Amino acid sequence: TGLITLDVGFKNTGSTQSKITYLDGDLGKLYYRGYPIEQIAEKSTFTEVMYLLLEGELPTQEQLNKFEADIKKNSLVSVEMEQILKAFPRSAHPMGVLSTLTSSLTAFNPKAVNIKSEKDLYNAYTLLLGKFPVLCAWTYRLKLGLPLNYSDNRLDYPHNFYQMMFKMPTEDLEVQEVVVDAINKLLILHAEHEQNCSASTVRMVGSAHTGLFASISAGVSALWGPLHGGANQAVIEMLEMIQKDGGDLQKWVDKAKSKNDDFRLMGFGHRVYKNFDPRARVIKKVADNIFNKLGIQDETLEIAKKLEEVALNDPYFIEKKLYPNVDFYSGIIYRALGFPTEMFTVMFALGRLPGWIAQWKEMRINNDPINRPRQIYIGNPKRDYIDINLRN
Ligand code: CMC
| Domain residue spans of the chain | 8-225+345-365, 231-336
From CA 215, how far away is CA 77, in angstroms rounded?
A: 20
Residues in the chain: 392
| Ligand 1, residues at Cβ distance < 6 Å | 9, 196, 227-229, 231, 256, 264-271, 320, 322, 325-327
* pLDDT at site 167: 81
From CA 310, how far away is CA 304, in angstroms rounded?
A: 10
Q: What's the CATH number for 8-225+345-365?
A: 1.10.580.10
Residue with CA nearest ligand 1 atom 49:
228
Residues 286-305, mean pLDDT to the nearest whole number: 87
Higher pLDDT, 337 or 8: 8
Which of 236, 271, 273 has the most ligand 1 atoms within 8 A of CB, as the residue to mutate?
Answer: 271
Report the percent of the chain where pLDDT is more than 70.
99
Who contacts 351 (Cβ-Cβ below 8 Å, separation ≥6)? 46, 186, 187, 188, 189, 190, 191
For ligand 1, the distance from its centroid to the CA atom of residue 269, given in whole angstroms, is 5
Tell me the sheet residues that pair with 31. 22, 36
Q: How confident is the model at residue 178 (pLDDT cuts 50, 70, 90)?
A: confident
For ligand 1, the distance from its centroid to the CA atom of residue 277, given in whole angstroms, is 13
For ligand 1, the distance from its centroid to the CA atom of residue 227, given in whole angstroms, is 8
* pLDDT at site 177: 84
Which of 273, 325, 330 has the most ligand 1 atoms within 8 A of CB, as the residue to mutate?
Answer: 325
Half-sphere exposure of 98 (CA within 13 A, CB side): 34
Q: What is the mean pLDDT of the chain?
A: 94
For ligand 1, the distance from its centroid to the CA atom of residue 301, given in whole angstroms, is 22
For 167-202, b/e burial (b = at least 16 CB within 10 A) is: eeeeeeeeeeebbbbbbbbbbbbbbbbbbbbbbbbb
* pLDDT at site 173: 73
User: Is 228 known to be catalytic?
Assistant: no
What are the pLDDT digits (tens) for 80-129? 999 999 999 999 999 999 999 999 999 999 999 999 999 999 999 999 99
* pLDDT at site 296: 84
What are the pLDDT digits (tens) for 222-280? 999 999 999 998 999 999 999 999 989 999 999 999 999 999 999 999 999 998 899 99
From CA 71, how far away is CA 45, in angstroms rounded?
A: 15
For ligand 1, the distance from its centroid to the CA atom of residue 268, given in whole angstroms, is 7
From CA 346, how far away is CA 94, in angstroms rounded?
A: 7
Residue with CA nearest ligand 1 atom 32:
270
**Given 3-state DSSP classes, what are the helix, strand and coil percentages for the chain, each rounded to the nearest 5?**
60, 5, 40
* pLDDT at site 25: 94
For 296-308, b/e burial (b = at least 16 CB within 10 A) is: eeeebbebbeebb
* pLDDT at site 297: 82
* pLDDT at site 267: 93
For the chain, the distance separating the N- and C-terminal CA atoms, rounded to the nearest angstrom, is 36
From CA 113, how far away is CA 125, in angstroms rounded?
A: 10
- The ligand 1 atom at the shortest distance from the C-alpha of residue 316 is 3
Q: 282 pLDDT exceeds 60? A: yes
Q: What's the CATH number for 231-336?
A: 1.10.230.10
What are the pLDDT digits (tens) for 364-390? 999 999 999 999 999 999 999 999 999
Q: 310 pLDDT exceeds 70? A: yes
From CA 359, how far away is CA 106, in angstroms rounded?
A: 19
Tell me the sheet residues that pair with 22. 31
What are the pLDDT digits (tens) for 40-50? 999 999 999 99
What are the pLDDT digits (tens) for 210-230? 999 999 999 999 999 999 999
Q: 299 pLDDT exceeds 90? A: no
Q: How confident is the model at residue 176 (pLDDT cuts 50, 70, 90)?
A: confident
* pLDDT at site 168: 64
Of the candidates 93, 159, 190, 270, the residue annotated as catalytic is: 270
Of the candidates 93, 277, 314, 327, the residue annotated as catalytic is: 327
Q: Is 122 helix (H, G, I), strand (E, B) or coil?
A: helix
- The ligand 1 atom at the shortest distance from the C-alpha of residue 268 is 7
Residue with CA nearest ligand 1 atom 36:
269
* pLDDT at site 275: 86
* pLDDT at site 154: 92
Report the percent of the chain where pLDDT is more than 90.
86
For ligand 1, the distance from its centroid to the CA atom of residue 270, given in whole angstroms, is 6
Q: In what order do the strands lie in the sheet with 29-32?
A: 21-24, 29-32, 35-36
User: Is 270 known to be catalytic?
Assistant: yes
Q: How confident is the model at residue 61 (pLDDT cuts 50, 70, 90)?
A: very high
Helix axes 231-244, 299-312, angle to 10 degrees: 100
From CA 50, how far away is CA 40, in angstroms rounded?
A: 11
Q: 1 pLDDT exceeds 60? A: no
Query: Looking at this protein, which amino acid is placed at residue 202?
Result: V
- For 86, 95, 281, the CA distances from 80, given in Å and listed in that order, are 10, 20, 43
Q: 353 pLDDT exceeds 70? A: yes
* pLDDT at site 170: 62
